[in-house]
């Protein structure tokens, strides 16, 4: 990851007139979806992935919140990158992220109160989501605003699709619904089908993430560590 960042910053310095969606910039968007996915490859943000994937709705709202915080955080830190003293950069990052999280929290409380209740502390805990701090440290501090925003969108999307994929599996098998709509017909239940209660418990989220990692690595063998 670090070499990529350096290359990207070097390129940005050399060619100021780089097109908005150059190959490098597109890579910033697509790379975190698979090759450097924050959850399945970097194994960051796991605790929220386990806690709020019982229902798809919560997962979607959580993903959007993280997206908003990441874009805002990456943009602001990137704009400030030349005037932040490196000794206190973590504090500055925390202040920025915390302010954004409070904003998001208030918006959620105002418009989707029930989901906000269900997400409870996990909105507040976006502050400690390692993905956000990681991207600020590793990318926004060393790059111009536009690539930083793309990087934020890419990573948030990488986080979101895993979250939603896990939530789809858990809600479908655990409650028989998707986004609250009943998907499994009553006829199934008459034949003795039952919702899998374990899918609602956090261990199954971990196992589901594990299975996604398994599938991902068998398709993308470059990710498999040696030895």
Partner 1 sequence: MQFLRNIFDNLRPNFEQGGKFEKYYKGFEAMETFAFTPGHTAHKGAHIRDAIDLKRTMFLVVIALVPSLLFGMWNTGHQYYLSIGELTGLGEGFLDKFIFGAIRVLPIVVVSYAVGLGIEFAIAIKNNHSVNEGYLVSGMLIPLVLPSEIPLWMVAVATAFAVVIGKEVFGGTGMNILNPALTARAFLFFAYPTKLSGNAVWIPQESGMAGVDGYTGETLLSQAYNAPAGSNFGSVAYDAAGQQYGSLADTLWASFWGWIPGSIGETSVFAILLGAAILIFTGIGSWRIMLSFLVGGITMSLIFNAWGANAFMSVHPLQQLMMGSFMFGMVFMATDPVSAAQTVTGKWIYGFLAGFLGIMIRVFNPAYPEGIMMAILFMNVMAPLIDHYVVEANINRRLKRAKVAA
Where on the chain is the footprint of partner 1 (CB under 8 A)?
A: 192-194, 196-199, 201, 207, 210, 214
Q: In angstroms, what is the minimal distance from the CB of 47 to partner 1? A: 20
Q: Which lies closer to partner 1 via its Cβ, residue 148 or residue 208?
A: 208
Q: In angstroms, what is the minimal distance from the CB of 35 to partner 1? A: 23
Q: In angstroms, what is the minimal distance from the CB of 224 to partner 1? A: 14
Q: Which lies closer to partner 1 via its Cβ, residue 128 or residue 196?
A: 196
Query: Contact 31/154 with Cβ under 8 angstroms?
Result: yes
Residues with Cβ within 8 Å of 134's Cβ and at least 6 positions away in sequence, in order, are 38, 42, 44
Is 195 in a helix, a strand, or coil?
coil
Residues with Cβ within 8 Å of 75's Cβ and at least 6 positions away in sequence, in order, are 140, 145, 148, 149, 152
Q: Which lies closer to partner 1 via its Cβ, residue 153 or residue 173?
A: 173
Q: In angstroms, what is the minimal distance from the CB of 54 to partner 1? A: 15
Which stretches of the chain are DSSP H helices?
2-14, 23-30, 46-51, 56-80, 89-111, 113-119, 121-124, 130-138, 145-175, 186-190, 202-219
For the stretch 63-66, contacts whose Cβ atoms lie closer than 8 Å and that sit 24 or more positions apart, written own/partner, are 63/156, 63/159, 63/160, 63/163, 63/164, 64/160, 65/104, 65/108, 65/123, 65/126, 66/126, 66/129, 66/131, 66/132, 66/156, 66/159, 66/160
Q: Which lies closer to partner 1 via its Cβ, residue 185 or residue 210?
A: 210
- The DSSP bridge partners found for residue 177 are 182
Q: In angstroms, what is the minimal distance from the CB of 143 to partner 1? A: 39
Q: In angstroms, what is the minimal distance from the CB of 191 to partner 1? A: 9
Q: Which lies closer to partner 1 via its Cβ, residue 11 or residue 201?
A: 201
Q: In angstroms, what is the minimal distance from the CB of 41 to partner 1? A: 18
Is 49 in a helix, a strand, or coil?
helix
Q: Which lies closer to partner 1 via its Cβ, residue 164 or residue 207?
A: 207
- Give the integer Cα–Cα distance in Å for 194 and 35: 37
Q: Which lies closer to partner 1 via its Cβ, residue 138 or residue 213?
A: 213
């Amino acid at each position: 990851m670090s070499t990529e960042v350096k290359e990207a910053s070097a390129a940005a310095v050399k060619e100021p007139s780089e097109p908005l969606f150059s190959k490098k910039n597109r890579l910033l968007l697509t790379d975190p979806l698979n090759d450097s996915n924050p959850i399945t490859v970097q194994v960051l943000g796991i605790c929220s992935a386990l806690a709020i994937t019982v229902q798809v709705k919560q997962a979607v709202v959580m993903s959007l919140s993280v997206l908003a915080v990441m874009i805002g955080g990456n943009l602001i830190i990137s704009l400030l990158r030349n005037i932040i003293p490196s000794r206190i950069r973590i504090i500055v990052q925390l202040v920025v992220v915390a302010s954004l999280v409070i904003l998001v929290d208030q918006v959620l409380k105002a418009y989707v109160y029930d989901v906000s209740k269900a997400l409870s502390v996990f909105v507040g805990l976006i502050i400690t989501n390692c993905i956000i701090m990681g991207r600020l440290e590793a990318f926004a501090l060393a790059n111009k605003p536009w690539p930083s925003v793309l990087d934020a969108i890419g990573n948030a999307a990488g986080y979101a699709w895993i979250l939603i994929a896990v939530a789809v599996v858990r809600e479908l098998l655990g409650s028989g619904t998707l986004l609250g709509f009943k998907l499994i017909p009553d006829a199934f239940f008459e034949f003795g089908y039952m919702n899998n209660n374990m899918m609602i418990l956090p261990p199954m989220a971990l196992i589901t993430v594990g299975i996604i990692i398994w599938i991902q690595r068998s398709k993308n063998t470059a990710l498999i560590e040696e030895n």
